[in-house]
Structure 1
Amino acid sequence: MLSSSYSLTEIQRRIDEVKQFLSVTLSIANAHTVEFYTHDAWNRFVAMPPQEVLSTISPCNDVSDQQREPEHKAKEQSSTTFGFCNDTNRLVDACELLRAAKAHSLSGLGVCMSRDELLQALRENRAERGGPAAATGVELETDEFMNSKKSHEVQSMSEVVACLAQRCGVKQVIDVGSGKGYLSSFLCLQYGLRVYGIDSSSTNTHGAQERNRKLKKFSRAYQKRNRAVRAQAKATHSPQEELVEIKPEMDGDDVLHGDGAGIVSQEEEKVLIGLSDVNPAVERHSEPNPETEELFLSALSVDVIQPTSPRVPPGRLTAEERERRKRENLERKAQSRTASASVGFSPLTSYVTAETELRELINELEDAVMVGLHTCGDLAPSTLRMFVAKPELVAVCSVGCCYHLLSEEFDPAGQECLHSVCGFPLSQHLRDGSWLCGRNARMSACLALERVSRGQGIQMESLFYRAVLHVILRDHYGSFKSEKRVGNVYSKAKSFVDYARRALRRLELDELKLSDSDLQDYHDTYRPRMGEMHAFNMLKVTLAPCIEGLILLDRLCYLKEQEDLSFSALVQLFDPLLSPRCYAVVGLKTYEDRISC
């Protein structure tokens, strides 16, 4: 039986533990890198040499032993909490902070299931439940048309979604924020599911439609290749014995001729999938194989199959016979339309919120699994709210991203929640405590600890340039405020002076106010302090999993608070090195063969 290993009370206790840790450390995460020098962030929050922090948090950093100052503990005599002095609230022990951060991350709290554990639990008693989500037999090599990151995500998540659909006995999937449609197409082609991909961008949905058509061609090509490999293995079989090979559960678009004929032509394809009114006989140049012929006929739409009785000219039919045949043809076409609607991918353009009425978007909506792969900002919590509110949604698998785009209910500076439902906090438990993360902390939550720790670090020089520019703006342009942003000026700049001049022009400020030597002096003055910024950002990276953990625990707690859910969990779906936003919130509603929790 699939069971939730953690109760609502236990999840609330974990949330309280993370809250206690972040209440001491969140000030570092909320310090803005742009204001690092103007607000003297290092001396405000840290009472340690930057080299000591770097050597503690980044053992493999490129600071040489000769460059490091002797390790020295600047601890105050008073006690500390998570490495921070209780009197000054400044960091004095990076080792203690690092240990506490690991303990308060999702992996340290031990509240997540692995993907394999979830799949094993979902597959229990599969034979008794049955379901439509078995693999079609189409073996798609996703790395042929996706990058390695997307290929890993799509393959890992699609198997979980297919198992959820089979467990719940449904055949429809709603992919919210479907983007380019990779996940939707794969669920359709690989698992034979009916997928509705909803995205707010018409460019994405139109592109997804075309991409899905191309992926179907890929699936046919891979089947042809696989048949050729199998044909070579069967040395005793002649090509004629394997002239036709059809997968019974395949979509109509995937019908192929055998090895001798290759992929069907466009006109033949129209006929085979029922898009043409013509019903030509399929010529066979070899002796028919009863088994392959049966598979071939079963794969075709019913209105494509030729009648076995001799053809009688229409003029010789009686009126009753013509009426009977007309009625049968209409029935067959209706059955064919129903069958073709059960499998496929339909991209839809719509802006989705928690209040969106799915039945107004999807006329053929049945019970379905709702999924979201890296849904940005408020779309992830909206997906969970929709799942809870709409009875036709029986399961959910949501992977969020872009935490900095979340709206916060208790942000005094935020105006976006005045007339709408906010994305954070989602659970009543955190809402009762009026918890606030802050935008900079949510931005920090997007940092990828695993990547940074393996040398795929933050682009420090661009951050350093921007922070020094902020000093220049403070010193020479007063309390400058502008809606304009500097943007990606760094990638085009040849030096700091070039960067500063490009940025000043972008901000529509008088760049001639300062000479090149004036600008270079600012760079040279702050360059020795670049290590402070590096160490400070490594502290942010260390705290990132804890902030992300609180956001995800809030979503899990929200599901635990619902009465009609039989199962809910956080599941690590992806390798964090390939896909840093690797956790999914999974939930199932109570149904007749109830999953115990």
Structure 2
Amino acid sequence: MGPESALPCSPEFESSEQYVESLLDFIGSSELLHTLCGGVHVLDFFTRKPDLYSLVIAPEWRSFFKEHDIMDILDLLMREDLGKFSQQADFWREGPVPPESLLRYIKQIRKLSLRREHTPIHRKDEHGANGPKTSHTLARQVAVGMNIKKIHEVDNLCRYLDKLTTEYAESRHSELTHLVDFGAGQNYLGRALASEPYNKNVIALESRAHNIEGARNWDVLAKLAPKQQIMRNKKEWRIQQQAMAAEQGISEKELQKLDLKGERESQAGVPAEEETAQATLKISNSGVGSIQYVEHYIKDGDLSKVVPQIVDQDAVREKVSDDITATRSEAPTSKQIPDNFIEGNLQIDDSIKAQDPRLLVISLHSCGNLVHHGIRSLLLNPSVSAVALVGCCYNLISERLGPPTYKIPSLRTDHPRLAETAAACDPHGFPMSSRLCNEDTTTGKGLRLNITARMMAVQAPQNWGKKDSESFFKRHFYRALLQRIFMDKSIIQAPEPVDVENNNGSPLGWSAGGGTAPIILGSLRKSCYVSFVAYVRGALEKLVNDPERGDLFKERMAIMTDEEINNYEETFAERGKELSVVWSLMAFSAGVIEAAIVVDRWLFLKEQDEVADAWVEPVFEFKHSPRNLIVVGIKK
């Protein structure tokens, strides 16, 4: 089972172990990588003296970047054939050739970043022939509610999981009985897996009641579940609604909103220890696949409160009996009761029963620690036989080796929001593996990734085009320039200047100093990015309502004229490209950070005696879904 290589690393490495050693050695020793991934932030770009660009980027690199367009620089980082530079050449794209030190750094990052090329899996039709390569296997009614990206992800992951379960059954002579989706959300993936042609039995775990309710509605729209029909005397019901609204002094529409809100709050207020016991059973695709919704807050990988619902028939019968009784009280039609609800003995379709359940835990872009919980479920639950998880949102992962350093010492800030979590030490966080916990680095024992490094790891610079690049480069420039205004108006303190002459031997000329405190701005309207004046005015609309510093913003910035704001943009305009260069280097370098996060999960599985095999491979096209690496673990 699994690909030829356990990790999708460069063919330059003879083995996965050789790749891991090289990866950890580079991350643990590269000062420049530490700087670009976790050491700097664009908010500090225009507030430091000497300027951040001069401190971070070597002089020969700055000379090269000055002579080339930013899109050419992006091509050099990610797409250009670097072999051409081995020949003696004086020019590249009507400018100087890149310095040798820059080429070495680019080659190293490319070499250590995991390969992301995806090979599609083509299902065979009933005659054994491969279907059209351009078509997807999702029926139109199953794909309802999905955008193009989601269709691509669900379709390809369904094919992959179908292949995985088939190979598991062939190699173990025993089939996986259920697929447990960690964080099912609207259950797009589970709905597709339970439908033709896959017909899987899916347990959809979700902590939010309104998501489960929304998923049920999609089931109805997809024609996988009957629409609940309530028959009532409309005239009498309307009179009751009008009387209740009049009694409360509100309109009928407002009364309906309150009723809905109260229902959701009562569902959300179920105590944690009772959540699973009160879970809702929902069967779709009678006689084929099935979906069982379980409202459960996942705090770790323990599924001891979930698994009994699959095998405890007494509990299931009681729940089904209650559901049918409640449904009948509303005078249903015969179409309301699914075919797999057999009257009399209230049996459940055999497709969801299992005396000896063997579970495959799955997830599609589970945020933060949810992937860690899924991986640990393989060890904590005897009934879990395998895991196959696609993660995302690395910035939401907690840190295990606390206290975390949100910025490297030379740029650390004492901002209270960061100080509040500085002592956090979460056993469920990164890193998972003993290998990374005990790795020797220049900053001490154990590999740590701060919040800035993890946020950069979710970037996808390979997908940046000219138009969208210009758009978010402008956004970064405006935000960094606004931070400069905050400093000039004494809303935030200026960072301590760096003593370049007494830099304690640092190759980048850094010594003690701090960045400016971040101010949470959030998103702004699209119209705010028409000009810097519009951006500042739009930001002030939000900031003047800040409960702590709103009056300060109003006093010191509301009086700024358009001319004064324009002067800032004109003064720093030439340095906008410098910010774009640094941001591009940060995003490009962070491919190594994502590799470290994914490799850590794989290493954790390899370290466990209970695990027979583990691997990582791409399951989506990177251009559609950059977080395209799945981590698979198979229990002995």
Which residue does the alignment assign to 2:609? 563
2:190 to 181, 184, 193: 184
Which residue does the alignment assign to 2:359? 368
5 Å-filtered alignment, 1:11-410, equals: 12-20=20-28, 22-30=30-38, 31-39=40-48, 40-46=51-57, 47=59, 48-49=62-63, 50-52=65-67, 54=70, 55-58=72-75, 70-71=95-96, 93-107=101-115, 140-141=139-140, 145-166=145-166, 167-168=168-169, 169-190=175-196, 191-216=198-223, 343-360=289-306, 363-364=309-310, 366-410=357-401
What is the identity, as a one-letter code, of the residue corresponding to 2:432?
A: L
**Aligned partners of 1:158 and 1:203: how far apart in 2?**
25
**Aligned partners of 1:420 and 1:12: how far apart in 2?**
24
Q: Quick check: 1:8–1:557 contact (8 Å CA) kept in 2?
A: no
Which residue does the alignment assign to 1:486? 521
What is the identity, as a one-letter code, of the residue corresponding to 1:51?
A: K
What is the identity, as a one-letter code, of the residue corresponding to 2:359?
A: A
Larger Rg: 1
| CA shift for structure 1 position 388 | 2.5
Three-state SS of the structure 2 residue aligned to 1:102 is helix
1:439 to 434, 438, 451: 451
Residues 452, 338 of structure 1: CA spacing in aligned structure 2 closer, same or farther, 3 A cutoff?
closer
What is the identity, as a one-letter code, of the residue corresponding to 2:56?
A: F
**Aligned partners of 1:195 and 1:499: how far apart in 2?**
47
Residues 474, 417 of structure 1: CA spacing in aligned structure 2 closer, same or farther, 3 A cutoff?
closer
| CA shift for structure 1 position 200 | 2.3
| CA shift for structure 1 position 59 | 5.5
Q: Quick check: 2:400–2:426 contact (8 Å CA) kept in 1?
A: no
TM-score normalised by L of structure 1: 0.65
Q: Quick check: 2:118–2:620 contact (8 Å CA) kept in 1?
A: no
**Aligned partners of 2:367 and 2:204: how far apart in 1?**
15
**Aligned partners of 1:468 and 1:209: how far apart in 2?**
47
Percent identical pairs in the alignment equals 24
Name stretches of at least 5 consecutive residues in structure 2 with no aligned partner. Answer: 7-14, 79-92, 125-135, 170-174, 230-282, 312-356, 405-417, 440-445, 494-515, 544-549
Which residue does the alignment assign to 1:290? none
Indicate the larger mover: 189-198 or 414-423. Answer: 414-423
**Aligned partners of 2:18 and 2:146: how far apart in 1?**
40
| CA shift for structure 1 position 21 | 6.5
**Aligned partners of 2:489 and 2:449: how far apart in 1?**
33
Indicate the larger mover: 34-43 or 462-471. Answer: 34-43
Is residue 490 of structure 2 the alignment partner of residue 477 of structure 1?
yes
**Aligned partners of 1:388 and 1:451: how far apart in 2?**
37
Q: What root-mean-square deviation, in Å, do the aligned CA atoms of Structure 1 and Structure 2 show? A: 3.6
Which residue does the alignment assign to 2:320? none
Q: Deviations over 1:460-502 (max 9, x none)?
A: 1111111000000011124268886211125242431232133
Residues 451, 342 of structure 1: CA spacing in aligned structure 2 closer, same or farther, 3 A cutoff?
same
What is the identity, as a one-letter code, of the residue corresponding to 2:205?
A: I
Residues 159, 214 of structure 1: CA spacing in aligned structure 2 closer, same or farther, 3 A cutoff?
same
TM-score normalised by L of structure 2: 0.61
2:429 to 419, 423, 428: 423
**Aligned partners of 1:586 and 1:113: how far apart in 2?**
17
Residues 558, 205 of structure 1: CA spacing in aligned structure 2 closer, same or farther, 3 A cutoff?
same
Three-state SS of the structure 1 residue aligned to 2:159 is helix
Is residue 475 of structure 2 the alignment partner of residue 462 of structure 1?
yes
**Aligned partners of 2:296 and 2:228: how far apart in 1?**
32
What is the identity, as a one-letter code, of the residue corresponding to 2:297?
A: Y
Name stretches of at least 5 consecutive residues in structure 1 with no aligned partner. Answer: 62-67, 76-82, 84-92, 124-136, 218-252, 255-264, 268-336, 591-597
**Aligned partners of 1:11 and 1:358: how far apart in 2?**
37
**Aligned partners of 1:469 and 1:553: how far apart in 2?**
38
Indicate the larger mover: 413-422 or 491-500. Answer: 413-422
5 Å-filtered alignment, 1:576-591, equals: 576-590=622-636
Residues 460, 472 of structure 1: CA spacing in aligned structure 2 closer, same or farther, 3 A cutoff?
same
Residues 20, 339 of structure 1: CA spacing in aligned structure 2 closer, same or farther, 3 A cutoff?
closer
Q: Deviations over 1:296-347 (max 9, x none)?
A: xxxxxxxxxxxxxxxxxxxxxxxxxxxxxxxxxxxxxxxxx99969831122
**Aligned partners of 2:77 and 2:34: how far apart in 1?**
26
**Aligned partners of 2:137 and 2:593: how far apart in 1?**
40
| CA shift for structure 1 position 184 | 0.4
| CA shift for structure 1 position 544 | 2.4
What is the identity, as a one-letter code, of the residue corresponding to 2:616?
A: L
Residues 105, 138 of structure 1: CA spacing in aligned structure 2 closer, same or farther, 3 A cutoff?
closer
Three-state SS of the structure 2 residue aligned to 1:423 is coil
| CA shift for structure 1 position 29 | 2.2
What is the identity, as a one-letter code, of the residue corresponding to 2:112?
A: H
What is the identity, as a one-letter code, of the residue corresponding to 2:472?
A: Q
Three-state SS of the structure 1 residue aligned to 2:464 is helix
| CA shift for structure 1 position 416 | 7.9
Q: Deviations over 1:106-143 (max 9, x none)?
A: 12xxxx89656xx79x99xxxxxxxxxxxxx9961465
**Aligned partners of 2:611 and 2:179: how far apart in 1?**
19
What is the identity, as a one-letter code, of the residue corresponding to 1:390?
A: N
**Aligned partners of 1:359 and 1:151: how far apart in 2?**
32
**Aligned partners of 2:569 and 2:617: how far apart in 1?**
46
| CA shift for structure 1 position 105 | 0.5
Residues 339, 538 of structure 1: CA spacing in aligned structure 2 closer, same or farther, 3 A cutoff?
closer
Three-state SS of the structure 2 residue aligned to 1:400 is strand
What is the identity, as a one-letter code, of the residue corresponding to 1:558?
A: F
Q: Deviations over 1:198-253 (max 9, x none)?
A: 12222211111111222235xxxxxxxxxxxxxxxxxxxxxxxxxxxxxxxxxxx6
Q: Quick check: 2:28–2:447 contact (8 Å CA) kept in 1?
A: no
Q: Quick check: 1:8–1:560 contact (8 Å CA) kept in 2?
A: no
| CA shift for structure 1 position 409 | 2.0
Q: Quick check: 2:390–2:630 contact (8 Å CA) kept in 1?
A: yes
| CA shift for structure 1 position 104 | 1.0
What is the identity, as a one-letter code, of the residue corresponding to 1:202?
A: A
Which residue does the alignment assign to 2:534? 498
Q: Quick check: 1:12–1:557 contact (8 Å CA) kept in 2?
A: no
Residues 94, 483 of structure 1: CA spacing in aligned structure 2 closer, same or farther, 3 A cutoff?
closer
| CA shift for structure 1 position 193 | 1.3
Residues 531, 347 of structure 1: CA spacing in aligned structure 2 closer, same or farther, 3 A cutoff?
same
Indicate the larger mover: 417-426 or 170-179. Answer: 417-426
Residues 59, 416 of structure 1: CA spacing in aligned structure 2 closer, same or farther, 3 A cutoff?
closer
5 Å-filtered alignment, 1:494-533, equals: 494-507=530-543, 508=550, 509-510=553-554, 511-533=557-579
**Aligned partners of 2:44 and 2:284: how far apart in 1?**
61
Q: Deviations over 1:399-457 (max 9, x none)?
A: 10011111122353473874642321111100112111211111111111321167643
Q: Quick check: 2:149–2:625 contact (8 Å CA) kept in 1?
A: yes
**Aligned partners of 2:402 and 2:41: how far apart in 1?**
16
**Aligned partners of 2:46 and 2:526: how far apart in 1?**
22
Q: Quick check: 1:174–1:371 contact (8 Å CA) kept in 2?
A: yes
Tell me the number of residue pairs that the alignment of Structure 1 and Structure 2 aligns. Answer: 434
**Aligned partners of 2:425 and 2:73: how far apart in 1?**
46
Q: Quick check: 1:115–1:571 contact (8 Å CA) kept in 2?
A: no
Which residue does the alignment assign to 1:546? 592
What is the identity, as a one-letter code, of the residue corresponding to 2:139?
A: L
What is the identity, as a one-letter code, of the residue corresponding to 1:450?
A: Q
What is the identity, as a one-letter code, of the residue corresponding to 2:568?
A: Y
| CA shift for structure 1 position 24 | 3.6
